[in-house]
Amino acid sequence: MENKLYVSMSPHIHGGDSISRKMWDVIIALIPALLVSLYFFGLGSLLVTSVSIASCVLFEYLIARFLLKQESTLRDGSAILTGLLLAFNLPSNLPLWIVVIGALVAIGMAKMSFGGLGNNIFNPALVGRVFLLISFPQQMTSWPLPKPFNLHYLDAATGATPLSVMKSSRFDRLPDMLDMFIGNTGGSLGEVAAAALILGGLFLLIRKVITWHIPVSILLTVYIFTGILRVANPEVYADPLSHLLTGGLMLGAIFMATDYVTSPMVKKGQVIYGIGIGIITVCIRVFGSYPEGVSFAILMMNGVTPLINAYCKPKRFGEVKKK
């Protein structure tokens, strides 16, 4: 008996939390928005999402197995999540081969080449999306219009999105606020359903997967910044609420910017990061040449994150103030 005792240092118990618990919680939180998307974009949404997830999982498996010769890390669910998030950022009429390229860039370039989950600097799904946006600007910026149980895929009817309407300051053509809230507008397949995304966000808050700091600081910054512009010149600038409900802002603020690996770790740093994303987003939307700036804003702040981590230290217990 004596020699069989297991000796290790304290603590001898673990709280039982795991990466896969956190990842699966995020996946669950995305399901309401996925259902809304399936309703409004139909077949296209289903195809793009399935192909995106399948290719992310496949690429991660192949790269881990044959290039890095590591144990497979699929069990943690992070590849599935990346696939799902990538799909959420794509139009539902995107040709599937482009989706596969996006998945390859997200997993191969943005994640595995840094050493896998935890070592990447930039959000993999967003790197995939931005790569596609630059390489296939046309396909990436023609969004289908919502139509319940749409069975058209590549040939779905496309049209203007609220963001492009806002860009041209034709506010009378903006869809109804309620439609924007429930997701009955054009846009990338997972970003339109603000209500469902907020629901998912609440779930993540309750499950303590995320805290309010990042989403709230982003949304508040956008609201205040666009509010000031609106007051300054209502002819040119859209109202702040439309800004909050359109484009990838909700998806970005709740799901993309809160990615653990690429966001700051200390709460104070998270607020700085969120404010940064908010400001850059509005600048691109209002003053830049793209109608949408959330992805770029998050990626830029991802790049600043190591710096924020280095300077934003938690409050130390019993810190002695230096005079």
Q: Annotate each residue in 67-86 with x if it binds other proteins (CB under 8 A) or - if it does not, as one string.
A: ------x--x----------
By CB under 8 A, tell whether 322 contacts other proteins.
Answer: no
Q: How far is CA 54 from CA 31, 47, 62, 135, 246, in A?
A: 17, 11, 12, 22, 28
Q: How far is CA 221 from CA 151, 211, 285, in A?
A: 39, 17, 14
Least CB distance to other proteins at residue 73 (A): 8
What residues between 17 and 46 interact with other proteins by CB under 8 A?
17-19, 21-22
Which of 72, 119, 135, 169 is the binder for other proteins (CB under 8 A)? 119
Q: Which of 128, 151, 132 is nearest to 141 (CA)?
A: 132
Which of 67, 206, 236, 265 is the binder for other proteins (CB under 8 A)? 265
By three-state DSSP, how is residue 123 classified? coil
What residues between 281 and 320 interact with other proteins by CB under 8 A?
313-320
Stretch that binds other proteins, among 16-24, 32-40, 145-153, 234-242 (CB under 8 A): 16-24
Q: Which is nearer to other proteins, 3 or 138 (CB)?
A: 3
Q: Which is nearer to other proteins, 50 or 309 (CB)?
A: 309
Is the alpha carbon torsion for 135, 141, 142, 148 positive or negative? positive
What single DSSP character describes residue 307? H
By CB under 8 A, tell whether 11 contacts other proteins.
Answer: yes
Query: At a CB cut-off of 8 Å and minimum separation 6, what does 69 contact?
Result: none
Q: Which is nearer to other proteins, 91 or 215 (CB)?
A: 215
Contact between 185 and 192 under an 8 Å Cβ cutoff? The reply is yes
Q: Which is nearer to other proteins, 13 or 151 (CB)?
A: 13
Contact between 164 and 119 under an 8 Å Cβ cutoff? The reply is no
Residues contributing to the site for other proteins (CB under 8 A): 1-15, 17-19, 21-22, 73, 76, 115-119, 260-261, 263, 265-266, 313-320
